[in-house]
Structure 1
Amino acid sequence: MIGIDIVSIDRIKNMYEKFGRKAYERFLKDEEIELIKRFETAAGFWAAKEAASKAIGTGIGKECSFHDIKIKKSKKGAPKLKYSKALRKKYNIKKTSLSITHDKGVAIAAVYNLIK
C-alpha cells in the first residue's frame, strides 16, 4: 500500500516555538529528535509518520500512534522508516520505502509498504 502526506513547515516551526522540545516529543522519540537540525527536517518526519500510518490504512490514531513508527537515516543520510514489531506483524509488512522532500514552505512524504 502507498501513503502520502504534506505538512506546512511553518506549522511545525510555530508548534516548536510555542512548546519547545515537548512539541517534538509529541511525535518523535529522543533518537529521532537528535536528527533534527532544521524545521524542514521535523516537518518531513511528521509527514513521513502520517504517510506511513496511511500506508497501513489507519492514519494516526487508536491503532497506530506516532511512536509506533521510527525514522532513522542511512549512512548516506537517506531517511529510513520502521514500524513497531506489533504493526509489522498485524499488517503483514515485509518491506517499507520512504521518500521525503521539502520546498517552498511544505514537506511531503510518500511511503510504500510491501505486504507479505
Structure 2
Amino acid sequence: MIGVDIVVVSRIEAAMKRHGERFLQRFLNEEEIALAQKTETAAGFWAAKEAVAKALGCGIGAELGFHDILLVKSPKGAPSFTLPPAIMQRYAITDTSLSIAHDGGFAIAVAAIETAASPASDEV
C-alpha cells in the first residue's frame, strides 16, 4: 500500500508563526520536534504522517492519530516511521518505507507499507 502527501511549506510556516510550539505539539512528539529544526522539515513531517495514514486507507482520525506515527531519522538522515504494536497487528504490517523531500516551496512524502499476504483463494 502506498500513500502520498504534499504540502505548501508556507502553510506550515504560517501555522508555526501563529500558534508557535503548540502547533508542532499537535502532530509531533518531543523527539520529532527536536528533529524538525527547519520549517521545511516540519512540513515534510506533516506530509509524512498524512502519507502513512493514506497508505493505511484510514486517514488521520479515530483509527490512527498523528501521535500514533513516530518519525525517526537514521544516522545518515534517512527517514522512517514506527507504529504502535496494536496498529501493526491490526493491519498485519510486515515492512514499511518512507521518503520525504522538499523543494520549491513544497514538501512531499511517500509512505509504502507491506502487509502479510492474504491466504490464496481456492475459488476460480
Q: Indicate the TM-score class for this superposition, using the shorter chain for normalisation.
A: over 0.9
Shift in Å, 1:90: 0.5
Alpha-carbon shift at residue 97 of structure 1 (Å):
0.2
Which digits, 9 at most, give the CA deviation of each residue in 1:72-97, with x for residues without a partner? 00011111111121111100111100
Structure 1: runs of 5 or more not aligned: none
Displaced runs of 4 or more, over 3 A: none
Aligned-residue sequence identity (percent) comes to 51
Task: Tell me whether 1:8 sits opposite 2:8 in the alignment.
Answer: yes
In structure 1, give the amino acid aligned to 2:64: C
Counterparts of 2:65 and 2:91, CA distance in 1: 15
SS at match of 1:34: helix
Normalising by structure 2, we get a TM-score of: 0.92
Q: How many residues align?
A: 116
Does 1:77 find its partner at 2:77? yes
Residue 110 of structure 2: aligned partner: 110
- TM-score using structure 1 length: 0.98
Q: Which residue of 2 aligns with 1:89?
A: 89
List runs of 5+ in structure 2 lacking aligned partners: 117-124
The separation in 1 between residues aligned to 2:114 and 2:31, in whole angstroms, is 26
CA RMSD of aligned residues (A): 0.6
